């Protein structure tokens, strides 16, 4: 051993051996993202966006639906919540794209950080944003007359299912963000399918309000199926006959999106 090596060994003799802890890393990275969201006003926006959705969706069709005997506050609330969850999806996509574009992902891959920690941290921070947005959406919905008629158990199921949908969508968006590395173009690309599936769904108007040729798509696409389940959870309680189809959609999307997000997050660019 050379003199320089011996001096270096003596210098670090009292330093404890580093033992990377994935939980501590997850907590630090999640806290960093949540802190940025809080200090830059993103959580305030997460409260305002559901208000915009509530006013924009409820007011234009309220009186039209009243003539048809529909309590539109109860009817439209599921799509307001789903659109709110899509806001989390886009935010996660932009965050993943920004971290990939700036080289943060590459930098963390060279450090003793668990491979899944960055992805899980982004999803955890996104879940915080989703919870804030969901609470805000339910608060605004209460102001327009939305109520959980079916009881607390169904209300908890409503919230859990909404957050599950938001998380699955955020996982897929995270994978796309890590691959594209362009927050602006990705936001534009996600906006179009969100609008198409939202407008061509039974979330805003009943299936009978669409032309006959498009009704099969409107009825069976995932946003409509999610809104059916959420509407029943709020009104009279969802049955397995209604719930199993949305669960199949949710599970299928999770199976499709999760490998993509994991591969995009851990791959070497």
Q: Is the pLDDT of residue 12 over 60?
A: no
With a CB cutoff of 8 Å and minimum separation 6, the contacts of 1 are 9
Q: Is the pLDDT of residue 71 over 80?
A: yes
Question: Cα 173 to the chain's mean position, in Å?
Answer: 9
Give the mean pLDDT of 14-25. 71
Question: What pLDDT, on the 0 to 100 scale, is given for residue 103?
Answer: 81
Query: CA 84, CA 211: separation in Å to the nearest integer?
Result: 27
Question: What pLDDT, on the 0 to 100 scale, is given for residue 146?
Answer: 95
Residue 82 burial (C-beta neighbours within 10 Å; 0-12, 13-18, 19+): buried
| pLDDT higher at 186 or 261 | 261
Question: What pLDDT, on the 0 to 100 scale, is given for residue 14?
Answer: 61
Give the mean pLDDT of 221-245. 95
Residues in the chain: 269
Question: What pLDDT, on the 0 to 100 scale, is given for residue 35?
Answer: 95
Query: CA 132, CA 183: separation in Å to the nearest integer?
Result: 23
Q: What is the largest CA-CA distance in the chain?
A: 91
Question: What pLDDT, on the 0 to 100 scale, is given for residue 222?
Answer: 95
Q: Residue 263 corresponds to which tokens in the numbers above?
A: 């591969």
CB atoms within 10 A of CB 199: 13
Determine which of 22-36, 108-122, 165-179 has the lowest per-residue pLDDT on average: 108-122
Give the mean pLDDT of 94-121. 84
Query: CA 130, CA 45: separation in Å to the nearest integer?
Result: 12
Q: Assess contact for 168 and 253: CB atoms under 8 A.
A: yes
- DSSP string computed for 83-135: HHHHHHHHHHHHHHHHHHHTTHHHHHHTTT--TTHHHHHHHHHHHHHHHHHHH
**DSSP assignment letter at 16:** P
pTM of the model: 0.89
Give the mean pLDDT of 248-261. 95
Highest mean pLDDT among 107-116, 185-194, 222-231: 222-231
Q: Assess contact for 138 and 146: CB atoms under 8 A.
A: yes
Q: Whole-number mean pLDDT of the chain?
A: 88
Q: Is the pLDDT of residue 3 over 60?
A: no
Q: Assess contact for 158 and 226: CB atoms under 8 A.
A: no
Phi-psi group of 55: left, alpha or beta (phi > 0 → left; psi -120 to 50 → alpha; rest → beta) = alpha
- As a dihedral over the C-alpha atoms of residue 214, residue 217, residue 222, residue 223, rounded to 10 degrees, the angle is 0
Q: Is the pLDDT of residue 111 over 90?
A: no
Question: What pLDDT, on the 0 to 100 scale, is given for residue 19?
Answer: 66
Locate the domains of the chain by residue range.
Answer: 23-266
pLDDT band, very low/low/confident/very high, at 240 (cuts 50, 70, 90): very high
Highest mean pLDDT among 36-50, 55-69, 169-183: 36-50
């Amino acid at each position: 051993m050379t003199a320089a090596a011996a001096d270096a060994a003596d210098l670090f003799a009292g330093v404890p051996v580093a033992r990377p802890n994935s939980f501590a890393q997850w907590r630090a990275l999640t806290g960093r993202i949540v802190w940025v969201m809080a200090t830059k006003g993103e959580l305030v926006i997460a409260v305002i966006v559901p208000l915009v959705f509530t006013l924009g969706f409820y007011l234009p069709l309220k009186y039209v639906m009243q003539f048809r005997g529909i309590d539109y506050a109860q009817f439209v609330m599921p799509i307001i919540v789903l659109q709110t969850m899509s806001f989390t999806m886009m935010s996660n996509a932009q965050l993943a794209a920004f971290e990939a574009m700036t080289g943060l992902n590459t930098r963390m891959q060279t450090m003793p950080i668990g491979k899944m920690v960055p992805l899980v941290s982004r999803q955890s921070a996104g879940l915080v944003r989703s919870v804030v947005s969901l609470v805000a959406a339910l608060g605004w919905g209460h102001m327009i007359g939305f109520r959980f008629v079916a009881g607390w158990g169904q209300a908890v199921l409503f919230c859990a299912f909404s957050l599950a949908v938001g998380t699955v969508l955020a996982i897929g968006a995270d994978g796309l963000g890590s691959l594209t590395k362009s927050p602006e173009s990705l936001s534009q690309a996600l906006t179009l399918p969100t609008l198409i599936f939202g407008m061509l769904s039974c979330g805003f108007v009943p299936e009978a309000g669409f032309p006959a040729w498009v009704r099969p798509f409107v009825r069976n696409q995932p946003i409509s199926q999610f809104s059916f389940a959420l509407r029943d959870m709020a009104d009279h309680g969802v049955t397995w006959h209604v719930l199993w189809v949305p669960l199949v959609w949710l599970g299928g999307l999770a199976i499709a999106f999760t490998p993509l997000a994991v591969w995009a997050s851990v791959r070497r660019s």
